[in-house]
Amino acid sequence: MNRINLLPKSIFELIAAGEVVERPASVIKELVENSIDSGANKITVEIQNGGIRYMRVTDNGCGIYKDDIERAFTSHATSKISSADDLEKIFTLGFRGEALASISAVSRVELLTKTEDDFSGSRYEISAGESSAVEDAGCPDGTTIIVRDLFYNTPARMKFLKKDVSEGNLVSGIIEKIAVSHPDISFKFIRDGKQVLFTPGNNDLLTACEAVFGKDFTKDLIEVNSVINSIKVSGYVSHPFSSRATRSMQNFFVNGRYIRNKTIYAALEEAYKGSIMVGKHPYCVLFLELPFDTVDVNVHPAKTEVRFSDEKRIFDSVYYAVKNVIDSDVKRPEFKVEKINPITLHKDYREKSDEQLKIYQQIIEETAKSDKVEIKSPREDISVSDDIPNLVNLNDYKQIKTEEPIKQEISIKTEKDNDDFKVIGEAFNTYILVEQGEKILLIDKHAAHERMLYEQLKSNSSLEGTQLLMNPVNVTLSKEEYTAVTENLSLLKEVGFVAEDFGSGSVIVRECPVDLSVEEVKDFLNEIAGYLLKNKKDLVTEKQDWVLHNIACRAAVKGGNITSEYERNKFVEKLLSMPEIRYCPHGRPVVIEITKYSLEKQFGRIQ
Ligand code: ADP
Ligand code: MG
């Protein structure tokens, strides 16, 4: 056995660096977090070559005292913890006094800093443990740290880095998350000489989200703000109709830190079930604030995965916070016009067009004033030529911006849509057309019916809605199915099936939901058995939901066609009194609306 040696400081720090400094993005994360801790309200990040060659973080925070500079770069040096009582901060916020020491062990670091109290600023350089003396330098209050040539002295680590572009994208991702979670700080990100992100730091979450994720992200959001189980959940979630194909825009922050966690993702998705198209995903920026001791301490602070001591509590808080707001919002999907073929206008109509008259008028006025006939059209989609007899270029007139779907401002309403309505008729024996206020509603009859029945079933999923079977139905099942069904008898009872174990592989059904016809009982129980067997792991609520969906579907078929005008009116009245209904249990939309505004726009009546 060899004798035991204490590792030299330089080697020890290299090992520690492996934990904190994995790639440029982890350096940026540590430096920006330090800047935030310094009280800065302006932070600039600049990188070149994905950060591998050059990274700079500049802040206007408190700066570092001259005498503290060298200490800041030694391991376990921190101004943020002074006693064991602060220990929880170490795990939740990542204060471990290791970042600067680790970064300077594997790169060339230059520091410029000045506190308000110091007359002049300081400059300091350190790389792989070799440092310069602290010297005076002119610089503004705050701190700039420049990190050059990451992993220049650890080629093995260098090999694990991806291409510049990928490393740069990871840095971008980190800055986006940090910027969104600190709307009170103005962030600027410069990548290879180009400014690619800027947030104003006006303390408004929506503005920060728009600056970071774009207008498309912010235009259809609903605010969330609730405290459930002493967990505060706040931020924004997407409207059910404005979903995405992937989960990539689901942003969660726990106690200010961006995290990924399966329970939270599941709670969000579950809250949208029945309100969103199947296969689509909601998006969000949600902040959870919870007691420090409920976040698992074994998880590394530099990583984004966290564990919670009470998963169910977290699930419920997110689920109900989101579910409450989406259920109370009645905004419907908008009718999207993909493209309209140009329509040739008859000369007579053309001359009567208000738009054209306006342009004619303007041209006449302008020509009277000067001899230069160069007039700007009042509408960008109508061009004006200088040839007076052919003033309006009809081609342009015809198109009226047909490329983009018509967008409109719809204010978010939380009250029910129970204004007067008029049923216009029914198209293709499928869609009921309803005029209501300033819009036309297109209702998918079957989807709506199914969903209404489902809601009804759900609200009295007790024994009230059952019928006693004159002749109880005996259903013989396979061995596995039999086990699955007999294990779930109480669940079946909840949804209206009173069945008993009849021994030797069969069950007997004594009561079933009223919405089901007696002939269907056997068939349906077989179907339920198949489902229970295949989806053993589903939650009880999921199993119940499945059964209710399927009863609703069968009942809707049984309900058949709505034929009379009276029935149709009653049906629409009932549907409109249930504004929470937007999608059928299978996730297809129930109602689509066309606003008068969008039609007028389409027909060129308004600009
Ligand atoms: P920690 O952040 O865990 O304290 P670091 O190694 O990241 O450890 O930083 C060490 C110390 O250096 C900090 O505690 C802080 O006092 C100081 N420091 C680092 N960056 C800045 C900054 N941008 N502005 C002011 N002080 C800073
Ligand atoms: Mg730090």
Task: Calculate how far, in angstroms, residue 484's C-alpha sits from the geometric centre of ligand 1.
Answer: 59
DSSP secondary structure string for all residues of 283-323: -EEEEEE--GGGB-TTS-TTSSB--BS-HHHHHHHHHHHHH
pLDDT greater than 60 at residue 509: yes
Q: What is the pLDDT of residue 271?
A: 92
Which residue puts its alpha carbon closest to atom 7 of ligand 1? 99
Task: Calculate how far, in angstroms, residue 272's C-alpha sits from the geometric centre of ligand 2.
Answer: 38
Ligand 1 atom with least separation from CA of 61: 24
346 three-state secondary structure:
coil
Is the minimum distance from the CB of 104 to ligand 1 under 6 angstroms? no
3-state per-residue secondary structure call for 72-85:
HCCCCCCCCCCCHH
Is the minimum distance from the CB of 593 to ligand 1 under 6 angstroms? no
- Angle at Cα 82 formed by Cα 67 and Cα 15, nearest 5°? 75
Cα Rg, the chain, nearest whole Å: 33
pLDDT, one tens digit per residue, over 38-63 is 999 999 999 999 999 999 999 999 99
Average pLDDT over residues 197-211: 96
Structure tokens belonging to residue 195? 């400014």
Regarding pTM above 0.85, the answer is no
Share of the chain above pLDDT 90, in %: 38
Contact yes or no for 117/95 (Cβ under 8 A): no
DSSP secondary structure string for all residues of 514-583: TTS-GGGHHHHHHHHHHHHHHTTTS-HHHHHHHHHHHHHHHHHHHH----SHHHHHHHHHHHHT-TT--B
The owner of tokens 């079957």 is: 446
- The overall average pLDDT reported for the chain is 80
pLDDT greater than 90 at residue 329: no
Look up residue 601 and give its amino acid.
K
pLDDT greater than 50 at residue 347: no
pLDDT, one tens digit per residue, over 536-546 is 777 777 788 88
* Bridge partner list, 427: 431
Which residue puts its alpha carbon closest to atom 23 of ligand 1? 35
Higher pLDDT pick, 573 / 404: 573
* Mutation to probe ligand 1, out of 28, 37, 56, 74 (largest number of atoms < 8 A from CB): 37
Question: DSSP E strands: which ranges in 107-212?
Answer: 108-114, 121-127, 130-131, 135-137, 142-148, 186-191, 194-198
Q: What is the pLDDT of residue 39?
A: 94
Q: Indicate the pLDDT class of residue 493, thresholds 50, 70 and 90.
A: confident
Ligand 1 atom with least separation from CA of 98: 6
Is the minimum distance from the CB of 56 to ligand 1 under 6 angstroms? no
pLDDT, one tens digit per residue, over 61-76 is 999 999 999 999 988 7
pLDDT greater than 90 at residue 27: yes
Task: Calculate how far, in angstroms, residue 171's C-alpha sits from the geometric centre of ligand 1.
Answer: 20
Distance from C-alpha of 207 to C-alpha of 215, rounded to nearest angstrom: 9
Q: What is the pLDDT of residue 246?
A: 86
Is the minimum distance from the CB of 78 to ligand 1 under 6 angstroms? yes
332 three-state secondary structure:
coil
Ligand 1 atom with least separation from CA of 95: 3
Task: Calculate how far, in angstroms, residue 146's C-alpha sits from the geometric centre of ligand 1.
Answer: 14
Task: Calculate how far, in angstroms, residue 28's C-alpha sits from the geometric centre of ligand 2.
Answer: 11
Is the minimum distance from the CB of 79 to ligand 1 under 6 angstroms? yes
